[in-house]
Each structure stands twice: as structure tokens, then as C-alpha cells.
Amino acid sequence: MTIPTSAFAELPIELRKSPRRTTPVEQALPKLCANEFGTGGRQVTASAAMTVTYQKAGEPSSNVPQGMIHQTIFTFDSSGASAYLDRLRAAVRACPAYDQSSIRVTVTSRTLSDVGNEALLLTRTWPETNLNGERTGRTASSQIAVARVDTTVTVLNDEGWEGASGNPAILDRVVRDGVRTIEAWPR
């Protein structure tokens, strides 16, 4: 099975800084304490990933992007998709915080309702730094959404531009659009 480009969510033109592009799955998946998101395991029948760079609506194209969303799609045989989410929940519970470039990142999770068959939203929070690496006194955050539709799982990893916060409203829109796109994709 091949996962077509049409299975991936697309940002509205006013939010799209650059066209989506194919990305290696290993680079698109987030890393927390370890390899929580893995590559899906033995039950994966197909996987693919794309990245889209986004901007704030109405900003001139000369401005820097607001962030990037890496979307990975896995298809599984039998109960592999549910098992993947179960493993992920356990791994996230075991990783309430981790160090990234000597900055402490905390991780919280909650269930997303009305998204696919089941969905999880992870929020990563850390002390914000400026481009020189100096702490600003503010907090930065980004999110990861994981949703299951039957035997398919999508992982959406929102990364703010150059260590800044991601945009939760855009990620929420993309995960919901992504689930609708997967539901419409003939598998």
C-alpha cells in the first residue's frame, strides 16, 4: 500500500508559507525522552510523512514563518493502530519531562474529543530563549496531536519557528482536517 499525497492535510492558502513537501518519517516524528513515536512497529503496512511551513494569516510573505507541522501517517494491519496509541500513552506517562539542549521540557497530555476514533494531544512546555540562547522569562510551547481512524494513525508535530511557540489553533484545525482527509481516503 502507498499513502498518497491527497491523504495529508493541506493548510489554507492564507496560512501556507511554503508548499508541503515529502519528509523522511524518522525526521518528521517527534522525540521526547526516547523513541516514543517509533516507526510504528511490525504491524505497519505503510508510512509516509510531509511537512508544511505556516505563517500567521495576513502577514506579508517577507516575514519569517510562524512554524512547521510535520504530519506522519501510518497504516496498520488488524489491531496495530490501537496498540500503537496504547504504547504511546504508556511512553508519554513515563516521560513527564526531558532535557533538550540543556533546557527542561515538560510534557502534558489529554484526550482530544470528537477527533477520529481516538486522539491524544501532547503539549511540550519550556523556558523561552531568544536567538542568542538567553532566557526571556517567558514560557514557550508546542503540541503534538495523534489521531486514529480505523487502522490508520496520523501524528502531527507542530514546531514553532527557531524555538518559538507553535500555534495551537492551527494545529487543532490541521488535526481535524487531517482526520477528515483520512476518513475520505479510499484505503
Mean pLDDT by 10 residues, the chain (187 residues): 92 91 95 86 91 91 92 94 94 93 92 94 92 86 96 96 90 95 86
The pTM of this model reads: 0.94
Q: Residue 118: CA atoms inside 13 Å, Cβ hemisphere, count?
A: 11
pLDDT of the residue at 186: 74
Rounded-to-integer distance, Cα 170 and Cα 177, Å: 10
User: Does the structural domain 13-59+68-184 have CATH classification 3.40.1000?
Assistant: yes
Q: Exposed, middle or buried by CB within 10 Å (0-12, 13-18, 19+), for 145? A: buried
pLDDT of the residue at 105: 95
Rounded-to-integer distance, Cα 178 and Cα 16, Å: 15
pLDDT of the residue at 78: 85
Query: According to the 3-state scheme, what is the secondary structure of the chain?
Result: CCCCHHHCCCCCCCCEEEEEEECCHHHHCCCCCCCCCCCCCCCEEEEEEEEEEECCCCCCCCCCCCEEEEEEEEEECCCHHHHHHHHHHHHHHCCCEEEECCEEEEEEEEECCCCCCEEEEEEEEEEEECCCCCEEEEEEEEEEEEEEECCEEEEEEEEEHHHCCCCHHHHHHHHHHHHHHHHHCCC
Q: How many residues does the chain have?
A: 187
pLDDT of the residue at 182: 95
Rounded-to-integer distance, Cα 74 and Cα 46, Å: 6
pLDDT of the residue at 187: 66
pLDDT of the residue at 1: 76
Could you tell me if 32 and 107 are in contact, meaning their C-beta atoms sit under 8 angstroms apart? yes
pLDDT of the residue at 167: 93
pLDDT of the residue at 138: 92
